[in-house]
Structures are given as C-alpha cells and as structure tokens.
Amino acid sequence: MLKVFLGRLMTTIPALIGVVAVSFLLTRVLPGDTAAYFAGPAATPQAVEEVRKSLGLDRPLPEQFSRYVADLSRGNLGNSLTTGQPVLEDLKSRLPASAELTLFGLVLSLLVAIPLGITAAVKQGSFIDHACRAVATAGVSLPVFFTGLLLVYVFYFILQISPAPLGRLDVFASAPPTVTGFYLVDSLIARDMQTFKATLAQLLLPGITLAIFSLAPIARITRASMLAVLSMEFIRTARASGLGKRTIIMTYAFRNAMLPVVTTLGMVFSFLLGANVLVEKVFAWPGVGSYAVEALIASDFAPVQGFVLAMAILYIVLNLIIDLSYRLIDPRMGATS
C-alpha cells in the first residue's frame, strides 16, 4: 500500500509543476494593470511606474517566475495587496469555511443520490426510476448560481424561514473556539448548541445548492452501475440460493457497484470546488472562492495563484485517496498492482 501511495505521489509532481507555470502565466496575461489599480485613478504615470517597480512587475517574466518559484520552495505564496496579509495565512483562515460548505453539500447529495439510484435500479421503470432521471436532468441543467438565487428568493425573501445569506453566522451568534475550523464540529466540541443551530441554519441553503448540483451525476452513475451488476450471473445465483433481497442488493450488488460511484465522487468533489466560487459569492460566504474572485477583480496576482495551487493540491490528494480506496473496496486491485 505504501509503495502504491509513493508511486502515485511521484506522478503528481509534473502536474504540480504545470499548475504553477500555467497559473503564473495566466495571471500575467489577464486584462488589468495591478500597478495602476493600486496607485489609484488619480495617480500620474510616474506614480504608477513607481508602484510597478516596488512590486517587481517591471522585471522580465523569466525573472519574475524564478523569484516566484524560489518563494514557493520556502513555503512563501506571497502577500495579498488587497488584505495586506500573507496569502498562506489568508488561505488557512478561509479554507475551513470552503471545506465545510463543500463537504456539507457533498454529504447531503450522497444521502439522497445513492438511495435514489439504488431504488431506481431495483425498481426499473417505476415512478422512482422516472423521478431519478428527472432529478438528474434538472441538476445538470440548472446553473449553480441560479439555483442559489432561487433558493434565497423563495426561502429568505418570500417564506422568510431562512436567515439572511450573509456568511457563516448571523450577527447574533459568535464563532466557537477554533479546533478544526469547521463551525459545526467546533460548536459540538464546545457543547454550544445555539451556535451549532445558527451554523446549520446558515449552511442549509448554500449546502442544498451544492447538493442539487452534485446530486445528478451521483444518482445517475449509481443507477447505471447497479443495473449492470444486477444483471450479472452471481446475482442470479444468489437469488436462486434463496438469499434475502436486502442482502443481495446491499451486500453483493452495491459493493460491486461502488467502484464507479467512488470514481464519480472524485470528479464531483472537484466540480464542487469550482462551483464553490459562485455559491460563496451568492451567499457572501467567507471562503477561498470569494477571496480569489475579489483578488482577481483587483488584479492581485498572489492570491489567485495561491488559490489555484491550493485547489490543485486538494484535487491531487483526493485522487490519491480514491486510488487507495479502490484497494479497500476490491482487494484484487492491490494484488494486480
């Protein structure tokens, strides 16, 4: 297992190098002048040039890139010009908010999509099967920002049963003592049920938005994978042996159908990381997505590069976890590696 992990880890190095190079070049070719933005609209050309020199933007691109790589090797992602703080510190403070929202949305979608996909496969052609396909089509068709705005309009503006979409906590609640950075977990550790309820209330709408977005591919692949497994010989043998329906479905069929579902979970999680950017802006969520958007508007390169690098590392770590989980689900894969 360790040999497999190290082998997979070595293959990620070229991908990280490519991410660093591409993110650096893209931030330099995007429209907008960082020096002019921070010098102000009333600044003279001489003042803008002085700001450009102070930021090192007057140097050739190869020299800028070599300095950036040298800083990365020391764990320095640069400083944000908009916040005045090191990018690494900004990411550390904001990443738990994004991770909590993403995981909450993913868990919600799993709780609905997997049982829905299994039931649709077992009762093929039934009302639940048609409902599964309708939900999958709707989830793929609706843009995530539109779903978020629609939920805010219905549950906050019309029904007034949801709190204002203004971040992780309302103005009447205070953040729990930081242990994990996840407010739901930290409030439970502190046994502060009032903060837990306030956090859950704020999480529901953005979490449901992400869940609707991710529900479609999970439900669809669960249904398709279960249908393929249920038609195999060993399932017919299990039925002929008199095993119970629940045992056949959950113990034999679903376990053999899990590999495509786990693969889809990896892709869905990466999609959620991108969708988080829009959801965080809609719900004023203080995560890394909104941080990157604000930096991009200000032509602040360092936070954007740090965001892209952090997302790439998360995606690589997720793929490593999925590779290892294959061997836990099906030990035969480990034997052939």
Over residues 101-122, the pLDDT tens digits come to 999 999 999 999 999 989 988 8
pLDDT band at 313 (very low <50, low <70, confident <90, very high): confident
Percent of the chain with pLDDT over 70: 95
Arithmetic mean of pLDDT, 36-57: 80
The confidence band for 235, taking pLDDT boundaries of 50, 70 and 90, is confident
Single out the residue of 79, 212, 189 nearest to residue 135, CA to CA.
212
Distance in angstroms (rounded) separating the CA atoms of residues 110 and 125: 22
Segment 260-289 shows an average pLDDT of 86
Q: pLDDT value at position 43? A: 77
Q: Which pLDDT band, with edges at 50, 70 and 90, does 238 fall under?
A: confident
Residue 307: exposure state from Cβ atoms within 10 A (0-12, 13-18, ≥19):
buried
Q: What pLDDT shows up at residue 153?
A: 93
When comparing pLDDT for 31 and 154, which is higher?
Answer: 154
Alpha-carbon span 114 to 326, nearest angstrom: 18
Could you tell me which residue, 153 or 9, shows the higher pLDDT?
A: 153
3-class secondary structure, 243: coil
Angle of CA points 165, 171, 172, to nearest 5°: 125
pLDDT number for residue 332: 57
Give the Cβ contact number of residue 46 at 10 Å. Answer: 8
Q: Is 60 exceeded by the pLDDT of residue 334?
A: no
Task: Determine the Cα–Cα distance for residues 209 and 148; give it in Å rounded to an integer.
Answer: 5
Domain made up of 96-287: CATH architecture: Orthogonal Bundle (1.10)
Does residue 330 register a pLDDT over 70?
Answer: no
Q: What is the pTM of this model?
A: 0.84
The span from the CA of 158 to the CA of 151, in Å, is: 10
Q: Is the dihedral of CA 35, 39, 41, 42 positive or negative?
A: negative
Q: Please give the pLDDT value at position 96.
A: 92
Query: Residues for the chain: how many in total?
Result: 337
Distance from CA of residue 6 to its chain's centroid?
25
Q: What is the pLDDT of residue 1?
A: 59
Alpha carbon 16 to its chain centroid, in Å, reads: 18
Residues 110-141: b if buried by 16+ CB within 10 A, e if exposed: beebbebbbbbbbeeeeebbeebeebbeebee
Mean of the per-residue pLDDT values of the chain: 85
Residue 59 confidence (pLDDT)? 84
CB 239 within 8 A of CB 136: no
| Strand partners for 86 | 79
